[in-house]
Structure 1
Amino acid sequence: MTNLRSGLYNAKLPPAGQRQAFRKGSVPVAVYGLGKMGLPLAAVYASVTGHVVGVDIDDDVVRTINDGECHVAKEPGLPELVSEQVERGALRATTDSVAAAHTASVHVIIVPTPLTDDREPDLAAFEAVLDSIAAGLAPGDVVVVECTVPPGTSSGLVVPHLEANSDVSRGEFGVAFCPERTSSGRALQDITESHPKIVGGVDAESTRVASLIYGEITSNEVIAVSDATTAESVKLFEGVYRDVNIALANELARARDDLGIDVREAIDAANTQPYCNIHTPGPGVGGHCIPWYPYFITSRVSDDMPLLLTAREVNDSMPSFTADTLRDEMADAGRTLDGATVAVLGVTYRPGVAETRATPAAGVIDRLNEHGATVLAVDPMLDDDVVASFGATPVSLSDLSSHTLDAVVVVTPHEEFDHIDWAAFDDLVVVDGRGTLGDIGHSVYTIGGGPRR
């Protein structure tokens, strides 16, 4: 890697020269956070600029990356890209965030922003990164925030924090928000081409620099919005739209038995009209994004937002509804859930992703335990100790048929479950939370679809 350090904010070079400097590695980049979204982003930056240092607090993550290996599972193309960029010297990793900040002129932050117990955004990790960046900040640097934060964070926190904790005044460095719009399992594709890139800076020069940078990163359109707060809101609005829409689908699914129809079929038919796009019902909404984003907004506004909060209540209620549906189906079959052995299929919040934050499986397992069931859980993505932490006995997929089961709940349909030998079990009662089971020779109740006996 070159040791040159050239800033893009208030740069003297014309735009073409700035793009060339960025691509030739004269504008070194630091990416703070090397998780399932940060590592793909760092690898893409490295492939474009040839000069990236990734920062993470986990020694094992840093060691793995510097060995040319990839700790993020089931991300097509990422292991090869990481290996290639490390081998050519374009990407390295470190736990020393201050040292990384001293070498970089583009600082990209992509660390988690969880919620506190009071449902307030917890910016502690984010502010720790800002402290490190401030220690190495130089005139001409630009800070790009990709992780989701409450509206107003870039202008109200990042700029004053960096100015107060560095020797650089505002107007000498840039800050822009560029929301991560990436899904697990397709991160590289999403970063480089799938969606337009939204950019918004705290001033016009920050927006210009961010537009220039992401014009080199993506082959898709770069959309510059009015300011950083607008860009921050874009990501949140995307999330709350999905949360409210899923809540609508879930509320309709809960009415299935009263309506006496297959709600999923009705939704599919309704969606053939171009102005209708109802999402799919299920056992709940998980992950570190959608369940949290409404609170990023409500924490920054004075008025009540009943629609957002009601949607949260509906979606949060679905794990209990799913378990209660199994109780009712067992009762219809003349059996009881109390004392029954139930297998929960899938503990992660979505298929093929080793992520359990806000997973609906947690609520399903808790409710089944409340009903007196003996709960087993199967998840090929997770270690046994992780599964056990949710209050269920971990069982491997290969050993599942050796257990005498009374019922099954499908929470997360990993592709490995396609190979279950359902004929190995006698007289199961099954609740399918995701509508993925066909005719398996057992009584199945699909959330939104109803019973199939």
Structure 2
Amino acid sequence: MSNQTTGLYNSTHPPEEQKRELRNGSHPVAVYGLGKMGLPLAAVYAEATSNVVGVDIDDDVVRSINDGECHVAKEPELPELVAEQVERGALRATTDSVAAAGAASVHVIIVPTPLTDDREPDLAAFEAVLDSIAESLAPGDTVIVECTVPPGTCSDLVGPYLEAKSGVSRDEFGVAFCPERTSSGRAVQDITASHPKIVGGVDAESTRVAALVYGEITSNEVIAVRDATTAEAVKLFEGIYRDVNIALANELARIRDDLGIDVTEAIEAANTQPYCNIHDPGPGVGGHCIPWYPYFITSRVESATPLLQTAREVNDSMPRFTADKLRDELAESDRDIADSTVAVLGITYRPGVAETRATPAAGVIDRLNEFGANVLAVDPMLDADGITSFGATPVSLSELPEQSIDAVVVVTPHEEFDDIDWGVFDDLVVIDGRGTLGDIDHRVYAIGAGPRGTERLQGKSRGGTLRAAELREGGRQ
């Protein structure tokens, strides 16, 4: 194998020249994975480097991108950015990962890394990408991992794997980790400006290259940490912090009835002290990040992690708690949940995001079905088949007033729910899972806040529309 370097790794060109080369497309970039985080990343890379090929296994996704279309819904700036970069020839897509790897010198991996049934990180898709890269890895190439992986993946897996499969010596190519730090609904802004970019390489040269690349991607600070394993841990620690913090809020919410106070009010007041930042309680924690990240740590360490495990148990228990609370509230109004029709509002795990992985709505619906309730569900982000798959009867928002319902559980406060005319329903029992409803002239129990129906209301109610908007902006849940 030749030692000639054509990429950024081990380049002898001055740094400013390397930056110019990156900007003018002399170092082609391949982005592997064009999902809801991968496509924004590929589009931003295209704008900065002028030469990006995105790789995805879905023919329809690839076709839509090459037509200048955006398959990721409700992502501000992204449709325009994709169309612009495709039109100017800076972005194209393919299903041929081997060909894409052969044309690139910077390889960015952002494929899903789910958990197996045994709660082990599933790196099958990740390793498939490594296989494609290895077929044409060249001296000077750099591999940057953005998807979440267990600590030690870059140093213990990526480097040795690529060296063994490609025949390129380990000191001839770079490997670095840059944690994806974006939220759905603001991905472009988050990638380019909102947060500092964290980079860490398996060696000093890998770190240097990653810092140079992301210095062209973001207007924010680039923070180089000691090594790739540290950078991998940063991403996990961010999610675990939120999981543990939300578990604290949820445990406080669970003892609300014993305390006889509005726990959410107490949390808000406590948070006015600068050293306190308790998150918001709710019906559970969903998505492909927070519920899974603790297992990326626990699966790789021998030391006990009781706090991480307890937090998971608390948050996993909240869907059942939510359904049980509805049962109890119905019983207090002399109604049997087994004879009730219940509408679940919101199936996706977050408002405005068509993502259902680990959604708490699944556990809520399962528990309601166990009770024998007739379960309806409304979600403007999903089609009827998507809702049916969770064991509920799909109902559109426009059809909801026509249903004879006894109770409602608000799991995910999509903005479309702000316009519900609650006055058309008779004598509802409502569980407000996210604290987004004010006084709606029905019997309401808000998780954390407690009873808030008109005949039970004590003190001021929290503004529903504002609270829902805060959550949709990525609040503390």
The residue aligned with 2:55 is 55
Letter in 2 for 1:348: T
Give the TM-score, by structure 2 length. 0.94
Partners of 1:383 and 1:156 lie apart in 2 by 42
Please tell me whether the aligned partners of residues 131 and 165 of structure 2 are also in contact (alpha carbons under 8 angstroms): yes
Please tell me whether the aligned partners of residues 41 and 191 of structure 1 are also in contact (alpha carbons under 8 angstroms): yes
Map 1:267-346 → 2, pairs under 5 A: 267-346=267-346
Structure 1 window deviating more from structure 2 (94-103 vs 436-445): it is: 436-445
Please tell me whether the aligned partners of residues 149 and 232 of structure 2 are also in contact (alpha carbons under 8 angstroms): yes
Partners of 2:253 and 2:447 lie apart in 1 by 6
The residue aligned with 1:258 is 258
Partners of 2:429 and 2:279 lie apart in 1 by 26
SS of the equivalent of 2:311 reads helix
Residue 104, structure 1, aligned to residue 104, structure 2: yes
Structure 1 window deviating more from structure 2 (51-60 vs 5-14): it is: 5-14
Note the C-alpha offset of 1:167: 2.5
Letter in 2 for 1:82: V
Note the C-alpha offset of 1:6: 3.9
Structure 2 unmatched ranges of 5 or more: 454-477
The residue aligned with 1:89 is 89
Partners of 1:367 and 1:217 lie apart in 2 by 46
The residue aligned with 1:129 is 129
Deviations 1:56-109 (A, max 9, x none): 000000000000000000000100000000000000000000000000000000
Partners of 2:452 and 2:136 lie apart in 1 by 63
Note the C-alpha offset of 1:136: 1.6
Deviations 1:393-421 (A, max 9, x none): 00000101110000000000000001111
Partners of 1:136 and 1:33 lie apart in 2 by 18
Kindly tell me the number of residue pairs found equivalent between the two proteins: 449
SS of the equivalent of 1:343 reads strand
The residue aligned with 1:9 is 9
Partners of 1:451 and 1:405 lie apart in 2 by 20
Please tell me whether the aligned partners of residues 6 and 139 of structure 2 are also in contact (alpha carbons under 8 angstroms): no
Note the C-alpha offset of 1:439: 1.2
Please tell me whether the aligned partners of residues 6 and 28 of structure 1 are also in contact (alpha carbons under 8 angstroms): no
Map 1:169-248 → 2, pairs under 5 A: 169-248=169-248
SS of the equivalent of 1:338 reads helix
Partners of 2:417 and 2:189 lie apart in 1 by 26
Residue 367, structure 1, aligned to residue 367, structure 2: yes
Residue 168, structure 1, aligned to residue 168, structure 2: yes
Deviations 1:291-313 (A, max 9, x none): 00000000110011000000000
SS of the equivalent of 1:171 reads helix
Note the C-alpha offset of 1:163: 0.5
Note the C-alpha offset of 1:452: 1.4
Give the TM-score, by structure 1 length. 0.99
The residue aligned with 1:150 is 150
The residue aligned with 2:472 is none
Letter in 2 for 1:308: L
Partners of 1:112 and 1:19 lie apart in 2 by 30
Partners of 2:313 and 2:237 lie apart in 1 by 18
Partners of 1:182 and 1:247 lie apart in 2 by 22
Letter in 2 for 1:245: N
Backbone CA RMSD of aligned residues? 0.7
Please tell me whether the aligned partners of residues 105 and 142 of structure 1 are also in contact (alpha carbons under 8 angstroms): yes
SS of the equivalent of 1:136 reads coil
The runs of at least 4 aligned residues of structure 1 exceeding 2 Å deviation read none
Residue 415, structure 1, aligned to residue 415, structure 2: yes
Partners of 1:192 and 1:61 lie apart in 2 by 23
Partners of 2:20 and 2:290 lie apart in 1 by 38
Please tell me whether the aligned partners of residues 294 and 308 of structure 1 are also in contact (alpha carbons under 8 angstroms): yes
